[in-house]
Homo-oligomer: A and B are copies of this chain.
Amino acid sequence: MNPILVVGSVALDTVKTPAGSIADGLGGSATYFSLAARYFSPVQLVAVVGEDFPRAHRNLLSERGVDCSGLKTAKGKTFRWSGKYGKDAGVAKTLATHLNVFKDFSPKLDAPHRKAPVVFLANIDPELQSEVLAQMTAPALVACDTMNYWIDSKPEALKELLAKVDVFFCNEEEAEKLTGAPNPLQAADVIASWGPSVVVVKKGEHGSLMRIGGTFYMFPCFPLPNIKDPTGAGDTFAGGFLGYLASCGSYDDVGHMKRAMAYGTVMASFNVEDFSTKNIEDLDRDRIDERFHDLLDRMSVPRAEDLLKARRPIPA
């Protein structure tokens, strides 16, 4: 089993959506990622919380197999975010951000964590992401995420980071903002030219795309007529993707990568069905695989026999 090191935020989120609301729910990029990835691979969590972080939340993570030895408690309060979603689940309106202890987050990795073969640098300051990466011994696969805030404030640091990254996750808006390209396809081409051999662009309810070696692979969303809370969808997607890929043990097989995209889609779809992390806390691999196959049934197009015969070689 290949463990995944994730470095990012653990937070308390207050969220309001048309389906309801939650106050001080468990949140943060590293939290969502960990809870999704651990169904597939061991996860080592590196983050910081304040003295007010509920014991129950820490227990929730460790009881589910997440290695919390890197989850430090610092003097002060836990990072808090509050936001609101309207009819369009794709757009969060941030009401308040209190960085609290997260402001001074500067992770020093413990010896065992430095050796992790797979690392996910969740959405934090790109300079910090680079510092964490510099502490790693020799990761086989480096993945990262970012957000508009860093694209605006530290684009050069982000590009320096991307030169050292294998898999970059972003959403459509971020990809276009980062590159100035008019669509996610052209944006992914530009991003790939900076370093990442795999670029994943998430488009919310419109699915996602993956660029590998100049070829685009396209994925629809799992159809959900009602969603409760989109918070964390991107991080659970990354968790499903990297968790599955790490379990495969090889990182250059397009079949593995395609299934990783489908597992990312599936984990995100579970996540948005309830507030906070509620719906990804107590799944099991059977339920996950059931939805994985359900998704594949909905998106697969069987090639007809006579069409197979007529088939010509496809240019690479």
Contacts and interface: CB of A to CB of B under 8 A. Distances in A.
B223 A216 contact: yes
B314 A87 contact: no
B186 A225 contact: yes
Q: How many copies altogether?
A: 2
Contacts of A289: 307, 310-312
Contacts of A150: none
B298 A312 contact: no
Interface of A: 87, 182-183, 185-186, 189, 203, 205-207, 209, 215-226, 255, 258-259, 261-262, 286, 289-290, 292-294, 296-304, 307, 310-312, 314
A298 B206 contact: no
For the residues of A in contact with B, the DSSP-based class is mixed
Given A207-B207, A314-B293, A314-B294, A219 B217 contact: no
B223 A185 contact: yes
A222 B290 CA distance: 27
Q: Top 3 closest A-B pairs, CB basis?
A: A218-B220, A206-B206, A216-B223
A85 B307 CA distance: 36
A219 B218 CA distance: 9
Q: Residue among A205, A258, A303 with the most chain B CB within 10 A? A: A303
